[in-house]
């Protein structure tokens, strides 16, 4: 057993912040050491969409990275891309992706393993399919659209995520034996009850949140007002959208930025004769004739030349990622921050512009979002098209026939927080449909959690529990100045070459990746203190370059159950000394251990088994057994 496993786990923020508990620090370190193949296996084990996440993950790991306390966080997402580019489904070195083997754990009846139905092939549905297939179930994936990937395909623009990459990663999941039924729409072609009656032992609902929110202002129903998610969906599937020359996007989040940058590319892709979203290939795959493709091309001629973005928030307050905002500006999109829409203006029954007001404040005294505006600050901006990108919500009408499934007052499917079970027996739900719009990796985590809950509810075998141990490590760090290396910028294509829908971001070179990875603070390496050997000499306190150690009388410690337990166990009184450590600032340099004259401090790495099997177990919220 590793004592206080949870305590030590919580000292690795990149790992605990990741909804699927990826050992990000572990794979970052492999990049620094040049062992990218092992790094890929670590990154892929808990994440069926590792290559996609290397491009577009909203990276909670990075936002919580401890290096950010010192200067800037490690570029964890970009380093994941480094690994998948070399060994993942898109690898450029000719390696084969790590093979996936189903775990023979499912309880089989006379007809073999139980069947599970998943409805919706976005990140939540795909991850659930992946894990259930690995556990040995027979899985069928029902999807309303003619493409797989959910918002990855229908929402995220191609200049951020290549369609070939989505197909490759989806194909790898399907290769586990998952049956795919495209253009099967729940509520139109079948009900959840039908699935249960037809022998599916469990159903996972993952329909996402694709209905755009409306704005309640005059003119919202005019011709020329379109919804942001609908626009992206049409753009990504190659359908015709006439935008006109001047487009105004309303919204300050990431989706609004995606909409604005896509609208701009509509015009640019006309100049290059390229259809957006890989649409030409897609349309040919589906058997559309050239006339249809020509019609879509014609739509490009109607693309926008001037795109402006109106947001309630000031520029620093915008919820969109700052890098995305900067790139949008570089590409020529004009921001109109700190303004709220008052009315959509009309001419001949069509959109002619937008009247806005200056925002006075966004939140009321109780901190609730409740914008107020400066009286008399009206301003008019001309536009041919107005695109609303002010949020999404699930569409639960397709569940109307399945009355047993409870819908919350917020319009989400009600689920048990631990198992994601709905109020209908055998039916589970996750992703944006259960929690509202979130991010890809959270949807994936839901899919994995539901797979495990389904497995347990069907009386499946035990998923192997986590194995962990401490291993003493070599002190490496004196003199290599890893704490001084600045964050390496992620390479992007120059603005002048951002034509059509080509990817804007590039991967790191080997050298850039190695430098960036070597900035990692090794949060899984702990300073382990042996109180029996410590002579309270203060040597460690004096040498620590970060001043994160202090030697204090035990009487100065705030009393707590944990401290009392330690005092009792060691049988020390209030006159004893204690070493207090600020874990957040420790850079794991090991100088304290090196200086200690009695060997009372050792640097030890917490190592957790990273196989796909234990990755399933690690995600188990009730994880309580840690074997050495
Ligand atoms: C424009 C945009 C950009 C985004 N960018 C990012 C990003 O960069 N990083 C990030 O982490 N997150 C991003 N997100 C959020 C992320 O895409 C979602 O949180 C995630 O896709 C949700 O996954 P999901 O599986 O719950 O639903 P979805 O991905 O929405 O998938 C739901 C699937 O269900 C299908 N479906 C719907 N109704 C039915 C029905 N009746 N019958 C059968 N199938 C049905 C849909 O066609 C779809 O394929 C973005 C979202 C949008 C809209
Ligand atoms: S410094 Fe390294 S181990 Fe620590 S949180 Fe950042 S990436 Fe993870
Ligand atoms: S490893 Fe020891 S000396 Fe180095 S920063 Fe951490 S506590 Fe200080």
Residue 498 pLDDT level (bands cut at 50, 70, 90): confident
pLDDT value of position 90? 87
Tell me which CATH homologous superfamily contains domain 115-197+395-457.
FAD/NAD(P)-binding domain (3.50.50.60)
Among 10, 12, 26, 477, the mutation site with the greatest number of ligand 2 atoms within 8 A of its Cβ is: 12
Segment 219-229 mean pLDDT: 93
- Whether ligand 2 lies within 6 angstroms of the CB of 77 is answered as no
SS3 70: helix
- Whether ligand 2 lies within 6 angstroms of the CB of 65 is answered as yes
Residue 231, pLDDT > 60, answer: yes
- Whether ligand 2 lies within 6 angstroms of the CB of 18 is answered as no
Give, using CA atoms, the residue closest to atom 5 of ligand 2.
65
- Whether ligand 2 lies within 6 angstroms of the CB of 596 is answered as no
The β-bridge partners of 345 are: 353
Residue 284, pLDDT > 70, answer: no
Residue 33, pLDDT > 60, answer: yes
pLDDT value of position 618? 45
Q: Output the CA 549–ligand 3 centroid distance in Å.
A: 7
CA trace torsion 122, 123, 124, 130 (10° rounding): 110
- Please give the residue that has the higher pLDDT: either 284 or 547: 547
- Whether ligand 2 lies within 6 angstroms of the CB of 209 is answered as no
Q: 525-605: same fold as 5-99+480-517?
A: no
Segment 527-532 mean pLDDT: 89
Q: Which ligand is nearest to the CA of 521?
A: 2
Residue 291, pLDDT > 50, answer: no
- Domain ranges across the chain: 5-99+480-517, 115-197+395-457, 211-392, 525-605
Give, using CA atoms, the residue closest to atom 4 of ligand 2.
523
pLDDT digits (tens, 9 = 90+) for 439-474: 999 999 999 999 989 998 998 766 666 677 888 887
Cα(57)–Cα(293) distance, integer angstroms = 32
CATH architecture type of domain 211-392:
3-Layer(bba) Sandwich (3.50)
> How far is it between the farthest Cα atoms of the chain?
88
Q: Output the CA 581–ligand 3 centroid distance in Å.
A: 9
Residue 607 pLDDT level (bands cut at 50, 70, 90): confident
Residue 478, pLDDT > 70, answer: no
| Interface predicted TM-score of the whole assembly (ipTM), two decimals | 0.97
Cα(309)–Cα(524) distance, integer angstroms = 43
Give, using CA atoms, the residue closest to atom 12 of ligand 1.
439
pLDDT value of position 292? 37
pLDDT digits (tens, 9 = 90+) for 381-415: 999 999 999 999 999 999 999 999 999 999 999 99
pLDDT digits (tens, 9 = 90+) for 141-153: 999 999 999 999 9
Residue 621, pLDDT > 50, answer: no
pLDDT value of position 616? 53
Cα(356)–Cα(360) distance, integer angstroms = 12
Give, using CA atoms, the residue closest to atom 7 of ligand 2.
25
Picking from 584, 497, 595, 594, the residue whose alpha carbon sits closest to that of residue 538 is 595
Q: Which atom of ligand 3 is found nearest the CA of 546? A: 5
The structure tokens listed for 564 are: 């009392």
pLDDT value of position 479? 65
Using CB distances shorter than 6 Å, the residues near ligand 3 are: 527, 543-544, 546, 548-549, 581, 586-592
Give, using CA atoms, the residue closest to atom 8 of ligand 3.
544
Q: Output the CA 467–ligand 2 centroid distance in Å.
A: 21
Alpha helices in 399-439 (DSSP H): 432-435
Segment 599-625 mean pLDDT: 64
- Whether ligand 1 lies within 6 angstroms of the CB of 254 is answered as yes
Residue 297 pLDDT level (bands cut at 50, 70, 90): very low
Averaged confidence pLDDT in the chain: 86
pLDDT value of position 477? 64
pLDDT digits (tens, 9 = 90+) for 55-102: 999 999 999 999 999 899 999 999 999 999 999 988 865 666 655 666
The structure tokens listed for 56 are: 């577009």
Give, using CA atoms, the residue closest to atom 8 of ligand 2.
25
pLDDT value of position 36? 93
Q: Output the CA 80–ligand 3 centroid distance in Å.
A: 28
pLDDT value of position 77? 98
pLDDT digits (tens, 9 = 90+) for 318-376: 999 998 899 899 888 999 999 999 999 999 989 999 999 999 999 999 999 999 999 99
Segment 167-189 mean pLDDT: 94
- Whether ligand 1 lies within 6 angstroms of the CB of 399 is answered as no
Q: Output the CA 276–ligand 2 centroid distance in Å.
A: 37
Cα(117)–Cα(141) distance, integer angstroms = 6
- Whether ligand 2 lies within 6 angstroms of the CB of 208 is answered as no
Q: Which atom of ligand 2 is found nearest the CA of 15? A: 8
Cα(368)–Cα(542) distance, integer angstroms = 48
Is residue 615 within 8 Å of 46, Cβ to Cβ? yes
Q: Which CATH number fits domain 525-605: 3.30.160.100, 3.30.70.3270, 3.40.50.10860, 3.40.50.2020?
A: 3.30.70.3270
Give, using CA atoms, the residue closest to atom 5 of ligand 3.
586
Q: How far apart are the first and last CA of the chain?
A: 5
CATH number of 5-99+480-517: 1.10.1060
Residue 242, pLDDT > 90, answer: no
């Amino acid at each position: 057993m590793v004592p206080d496993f949870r305590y030590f786990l919580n000292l690795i923020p990149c790992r605990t912040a990741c909804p699927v508990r990826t050992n990000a620090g572990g794979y970052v370190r492999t990049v620094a050491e040049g062992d990218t193949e092992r790094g890929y296996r670590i990154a892929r084990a808990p994440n069926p969409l590792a290559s996609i996440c290397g491009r577009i993950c909203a990276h909670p790991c990075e936002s919580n990275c401890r290096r950010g306390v010192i200067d800037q966080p490690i570029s964890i997402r970009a380093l994941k891309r480094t690994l998948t580019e070399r060994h993942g489904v898109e690898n450029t070195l000719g390696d084969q992706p790590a093979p996936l083997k189903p775990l023979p754990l499912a309880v089989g009846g006379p007809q073999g393993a139980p069947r599970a139905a998943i409805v919706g092939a976005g990140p939540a549905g795909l991850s659930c399919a992946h894990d259930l297939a690995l556990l040995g179930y027979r899985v069928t994936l029902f999807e309303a659209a003619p493409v797989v990937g959910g918002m990855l395909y229908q929402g995220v623009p191609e200049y951020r995520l290549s369609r070939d990459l989505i197909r490759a990663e989806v194909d790898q999941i399907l290769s586990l034996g998952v049956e795919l039924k495209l253009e099967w729409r729940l509520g139109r072609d079948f009900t959840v009850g039908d699935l249960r009656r037809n022998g599916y032992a469990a159903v996972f609902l993952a329909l996402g949140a694709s209905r755009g929110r409306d704005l309640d202002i005059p003119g919202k129903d005019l011709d020329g007002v379109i919804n942001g998610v609908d626009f992206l969906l049409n753009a990504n599937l190659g359908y015709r959208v006439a935008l006109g020359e001047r487009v105004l996007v309303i919204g300050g989040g990431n989706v609004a930025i995606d909409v604005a940058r896509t609208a701009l590319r509509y015009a640019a892709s006309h100049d290059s004769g390229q259809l957006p979203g890989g649409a030409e290939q897609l349309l040919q795959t589906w058997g559309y004739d050239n006339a249809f493709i020509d019609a879509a091309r014609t739509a490009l001629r109607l693309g926008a030349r001037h795109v402006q973005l109106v947001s309630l928030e000031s520029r620093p307050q915008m919820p969109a990622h700052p890098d995305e905002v900067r790139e949008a500006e570089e590409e020529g999109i004009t921001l109109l921050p700190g303004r709220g829409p008052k009315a959509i203006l009309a001419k001949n029954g069509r959109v002619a512009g937008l009247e806005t007001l200056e925002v006075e404040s966004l939140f009321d005294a109780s901190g609730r979002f409740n914008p107020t505006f400066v009286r008399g600050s009206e301003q008019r901006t001309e536009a041919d098209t107005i695109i609303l990108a002010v949020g999404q919500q699930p569409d639960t009408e397709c569940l109307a026939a399945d009355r047993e499934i409870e819908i919350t007052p917020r319009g989400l499917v009600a689920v048990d927080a631990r198992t994601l079970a709905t109020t209908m027996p055998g039916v589970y739900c996750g992703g944006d449909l259960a929690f509202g719009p979130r991010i890809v990796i959270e949807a994936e985590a839901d899919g994995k959690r539901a797979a495990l809950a389904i497995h347990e509810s069907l009386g499946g075998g035990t998923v192997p529990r986590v194995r962990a141990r401490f291993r003493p490590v070599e002190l490496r760090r004196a003199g290599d100045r890893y704490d001084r290396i600045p964050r390496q910028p992620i390479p992007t294509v120059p603005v002048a070459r951002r034509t059509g829908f080509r990817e804007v971001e590039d991967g790191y070179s080997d050298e850039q990746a190695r430098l960036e990875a070597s900035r990692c603070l090794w949060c899984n390496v702990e300073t382990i203190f042996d109180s029996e050997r410590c002579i309270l000499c203060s040597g460690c306190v004096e040498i620590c370059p970060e001043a994160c150690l202090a030697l204090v009388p035990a009487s100065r410690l705030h009393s707590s159950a944990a401290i009392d337990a330690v005092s009792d166990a060691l049988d020390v009184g209030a006159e004893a000394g204690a070493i207090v450590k600020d874990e957040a600032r420790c850079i794991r340099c090991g100088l304290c251990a090196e200086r200690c004259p009695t060997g009372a401090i050792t640097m030890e790495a917490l190592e957790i088994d990273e196989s796909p099997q234990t990755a399933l177990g690690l995600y188990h919220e009730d994880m309580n057994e840690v074997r050495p």
